[in-house]
Homo-oligomer: A and B are copies of this chain.
Amino acid sequence: MPAETTDLAQALRDAGLRVTHQRLSLLSLLMDASDHPNADELLARARAEDDSVSLATVYRTLAILEEAGLIRKLTLENEPARFESMPLAEHDHLVDIDSGEVVEIASEEINRIRKDLVEGLGYEIVSHTTLIRARKLR
């Protein structure tokens, strides 16, 4: 039995979730993905292994994995949501408006300033998303 499979299965158990092929498949796909796929794309990839997976389960599973803190959902403008495995470091996303590509951006300084600002207003951050639409300079 591969180590990775065991790890992911354990991550699901630790989250109090049952270990199903669909959950392992989607979690694994997102761990390995270098891009930020949406539900349709994940369905296609999951079906390469098991062609009986349904779109409804993809959506249900993604919601559950997000709830469990194992993955993150990116709500974009005018296009279906994309997903990524939970990153180790907090980071923002830049969408290249010409290619659609998503680039990750991290700044510990921005995170700190934002946190202080929000707390100064009497709030605690539950989650945050920064989406930058940008164009490549030439």
Which residues of A are at the interface with B, using a C-beta cutoff of 8 A?
73, 75-78, 92, 94, 96-97, 103, 105, 107, 109-110, 113-114, 117-119, 121-137
Contacts and interface: CB of A to CB of B under 8 A. Distances in A.
27 contacts: A73-B77, A75-B75, A94-B123, A97-B126, A103-B121, A103-B123, A105-B121, A107-B113, A109-B113, A110-B113, A110-B114, A114-B130, A114-B132, A118-B132, A118-B134, A122-B137, A123-B132, A123-B135, A123-B136, A124-B134, A124-B135, A125-B133, A126-B135, A128-B130, A128-B132, A129-B129, A129-B130
Chain A interface mostly: strand
Contacts of A75: 75-78
User: Which A-B residue pairs are the 3 nearest by beta carbons?
Assistant: A123-B134, A128-B132, A130-B130
A114 to B, nearest CB: 6
A92 B87 CA distance: 22
Contacts of A110: 110, 113-114, 117
Contacts of A103: 121, 123
